[in-house]
A and B are shown apart, each in its own frame.
Chain A
Amino acid sequence: MEFNHGTELLKLCEELSMPISAVMKLRETEVFKTPEEEVERKMRKALSIMKESVKAPLEIPVPSVGGLIGGEAKKLKEHYDRGKSICGSVLSKASMYAMAVLEVNASMGVIVAAPTAGSSGVVPGVLLALQEEYDLSDHEILNGLYTAGAVGYLLMRNASVAGAEAGCQAEVGAASAMAAAAAAEIMGGTPQMCMDAASGALSNLLGLVCDPIAGLVEAPCQNRNSVGAANALVCAEQALAGIRQIIPFDEMAQAMYHVGRSLPFELRESALGGCAGTPSGCSRSCEIFGEKKNR
């Protein structure tokens, strides 16, 4: 049992009367001959790492190796706890959790790349915020991870999830598409709604460049993870409301890839353009590496 495109995935869901999560789990057990218990065990392990990484920095922030970030998630939590949130509970939590994971990542803590380390906050941010707000079981959240995995697999196979190849739209954009589909499924959406949510999420972040200050996975990566989470929630909500996307997921994945490939080198993780190329970005880079760079 194998699928290579979103259309094939949707066809399998229909033929087998299964949600995307179940089809993805079946693919893993059949294609890789891995027993279901083993797949389940590995996914539970990933979920437990995610849970730890969204929470730890809310209590005790750890500065990043490069020193560009640290403490942002705790600030968001304090703001939220004071009843000052303007985003409401789900979005506030998704945003703070996504930022927390990037803090853990940047301080050499343990995270789950999903699909990459630089975009590792989006999927746990969205799913764990939904779990708390809607009292969802771990079983439901695990299903969300399988669905996120299905979308990420298609993007990895048919487009790219590497910032150096296709910009941030391929990292945070992909993570946002994964989280959107996962959110749609666990909140009761059909497989078609999941793929619409994923397509919408990709299209909203189309063209987003990868421009890390000093070449480090810190800023603007951390902020963009919370934006990726917010985008995922908005897109899932639209899909659940029955709003269809004009551009199907497979076509949007191709569009994302082509846009990514046409980005200049300066905007693909080279730390030369975008935020990294601004005077402030450059001066932070020089402080960290203690040298003047020729630009």
Chain B
Amino acid sequence: MALISLFEVIGPNMVGPSSSHTAGAASMALLARSLFPGEIKKVVFTLYGSFAKTYKGHGTDRALLGGIMGFATDDLRIRDSLELAEEQGIEYEFRIGGEEEGDIHPNTADMDMEGTRGERLFVRGVSLGGGKVKIVRLNQIQVDFAGEYSTLIVSQTDMPGVVAHITKVLSEEGVNIAFMRLFREKKGANAYTIVESDEKIPAEVLNRIRENPLVSDIMLVQL
């Protein structure tokens, strides 16, 4: 059982009205933004389940867009995020997800982001209640992390030696691994290694992991 902090009980500090539909939505979008390599020019949100049915009354749309713009859960600018995005020239669109996504969690949102230099990233987030969230899909690959630790996400080709390279670099840079998992689309295709650590992960780690030619991209969520 995960430990519960005092500030999960007296907290989170948040823009209302709902910890799952507002604060959770802001948190997952903030996490998605932190994974994005550039400046976001356009984002298409697809909402599922309860998010799709009640998003207007809960400000889920404003919270998602606010998170994409970097607003924390207690940042009042969330209220005006639709207007602020227009001022800043960020295009956005909200879509309602189809029923084809069978067993999807009721509070799910897809965030399809496009950068000013053509960068693309697709992130699917789930709001678990009480403001807690997790990311369950990156581009085409099912993943599972919450950003509660410093999180290193390495995009790589599924070939021998990449994981060994990553752990060697981490070990030499003195980073203690709390959790480490590998997710892949299919054998030999694109894969993600996700490493979670209690401490900050130094920038040098990223540079050295990139040296491996099978590594195509690295994302980092720093605590």
Hey, which bits of chain A sit against chain B, CB under 8 A?
24-25, 27-28, 31-32, 39, 42-43, 45-46, 49, 64-66, 104-118, 120, 123, 145-146, 148-149, 152-153, 156-157, 161-162, 164, 178, 214-218, 288-289
Contacts and interface: CB of A to CB of B under 8 A. Distances in A.
Contacts of B62: 108
A212 B174 CA distance: 51
Interface in B1-26: 1, 3-19, 22-23
Given A43-B10, A110-B16, A289-B57, 9 more contacts: A108-B22, A110-B15, A112-B10, A112-B11, A115-B9, A149-B9, A152-B10, A217-B17, A218-B17
Given A46-B10, A149-B9, A110 B76 contact: yes
Contacts of A27: 6
A216 B6 contact: no
B107 to A, nearest CB: 10
A108 B16 contact: yes
B131 interface: yes
Given A32-B3, A65-B57, A65-B59, A162 B130 contact: yes
Interface of B: 1, 3-19, 22-23, 50, 53-54, 56-59, 62, 74, 76, 78-79, 129-131
B54 A215 contact: yes
A108 B57 contact: no
B5 A105 contact: no
Contacts of B17: 64-65, 105-106, 108, 117-118, 216-218
B47 to A, nearest CB: 14
Contacts of B130: 113, 115-116, 161-162
Nearest to A288: B57
Contact of A215 (B13, B19, B22, B57): B57
Contacts of A112: 10-14
